[in-house]
Amino acid sequence: MNWFISAVSSSVGKKIMMALTGLFLCSFLVVHLIGNLQLLKLDLGLSFNTYAQFMSHNPVIQTISKGNFAIILAHALIALFLTRQNASARPIGYQVKKGSANSTWSSRNMGLLGTILLVFIAVHLYHFWWQVHYGGTIPMREYTDDHGNLVSFTDLYAAVMFAFSNPYIVAFYVFSMIAMGYHLYHGFASAFQSLGLNHVKYNGLIRAVGFLFYFVIPAAYASIPLIIFFR
Ligand code: HEM
């Protein structure tokens, strides 16, 4: 346990923890996107509601979900500690502060982008996750399955459709996904640097997978509320 405490108290240890938690959250984004793309199927929500019911009743998924919340919190808290540690290590600051000379806009605004994402996650969880698990406001919907049996699911699909009929909510999602893209533009590559994996041999691959995370995935997420709104 001592090795763990001294690892997370050092600046390098914190950077490694940021990298590991960040990459875990990237893997969550892929799984979550695949599930959410079912919202675009024109089947009155049968696929999406079946998927949501499975995810919220499977004990293994529910355990991973609790871990996921802990990792989101850990990622945000370590970022806060790291920022404070860096600020107190350089209390006076540099005389010439021309950040753009050797860094990108994303890398200089990771705290701001991360805060936007944290606000997004809080609002997003309240909208859907909280309503499913604790709100009790989402009605049930009945479907006939492939064998002709009547099945009944919480109609989360209808709740999402309702939310994305509001242009302010759609704009909030699109804005947040742009912030997520910029956050991952720096964050994804930086995680590999923190883990010491930025070897010239892998840099091409890291850049290609990075493009998937900073552009393709945020664009796919943003397209869901937009498609639902304009459909
Ligand atoms: C169009 C975009 C998105 C849609 C339609 C969507 C939809 C949903 C829905 C319906 C739930 C509730 C599922 C349930 O409890 O059964 C949920 C949960 C969640 N969403 Fe999203 N989501 C989107 C984007 C995102 C993004 C970009 C993030 C992270 C940055 C995110 C993070 C989460 C988390 C952490 C949960 C809780 C999952 C759990 O129970 O473990 N979502 N989302």
Q: Which residues constitute the domain of residue 165? A: 2-88+105-230
Q: Which residues pair with 152 in a beta bridge?
A: 142
127 lines ligand 1 (CB under 6 A): no
Domain contains 100: no
Q: How far is the CA of 3 from the centre of ligand 1 (A)?
A: 35
Which runs of E-coded beta strand occur in the chain?
140-144, 150-154
Q: Is residue 95 part of a domain?
A: no
- State pTM to two decimals: 0.93
Residue 94 domain-assigned? no
State the distance from the centre of ligand 1 to the C-alpha of 91, rounded, in angstroms: 39
Question: How many structural domains does the chain have?
Answer: 1
Give residue 174 CA to ligand 1 midpoint distance, Å. Answer: 14
Residue 54 maps to a domain: yes
Q: What is the pLDDT along the chain (231 residues), one digit of tens a residue?
A: 677 777 778 899 999 999 999 999 999 999 999 999 999 999 999 999 999 999 999 999 999 999 999 999 999 999 999 998 888 876 665 555 566 667 999 999 999 999 999 999 999 999 999 999 998 889 999 999 889 999 999 999 999 999 999 999 999 999 999 999 999 999 999 999 999 998 888 899 999 999 999 999 999 999 999 999 999
Residue 127: inside a domain: yes
- What lies within 8 Å, CB to CB, of 191 at 6+ separation is 18, 19, 20, 22, 23
The C-alpha atoms of residue 35 and residue 78 are separated, in whole angstroms, by 29
Identify whether 169 is part of a domain: yes
Domain-located, residue 97: no
* 15 Cβ closer than 6 Å to some ligand 1 atom: no
Q: Ligand 1: does its nearest atom lie under 6 Å from the Cβ of 32? A: yes
Residue 202 inside a domain? The answer is yes
Domain containing 12 — which CATH number?
Answer: 1.20.1300.10
